[in-house]
Amino acid sequence: MRLFNPITMTEVIHGFHDTGGAIQLPEDNWFFTMREIPEGMRLDVNEKGEPSLMEIKSDISGNE
């Protein structure tokens, strides 16, 4: 198991970072295995505090 901080949206390393508020995720969770976030997506956190990907939607002016 590895740790994820849903506030900072980063991996937490036990013994190096404060583990308060961190959640456990399996070693093979996509957050730890993907090298890049796909184009048009951004990192988000779901209601369980787990990392998720959310599509970036542009407004009518083309701004993100």
pLDDT in tens, 6-39: 999 999 998 999 999 999 999 999 999 999 999 9
pTM of the model: 0.81
Cα separations in angstroms, 56 against 25, 26, 33, 37, 38: 25, 26, 21, 12, 11
Contact 58, 64 (CB under 8 A): yes
Instruction: State yes or no: pLDDT of 64 exceeds 60.
Output: no
Q: Calculate the CA dihedral of residues 21, 46, 27, 8 and round it to 10 degrees.
A: -50
| pLDDT for 11 | 96
| pLDDT for 59 | 66
Instruction: State yes or no: pLDDT of 55 exceeds 70.
Output: yes
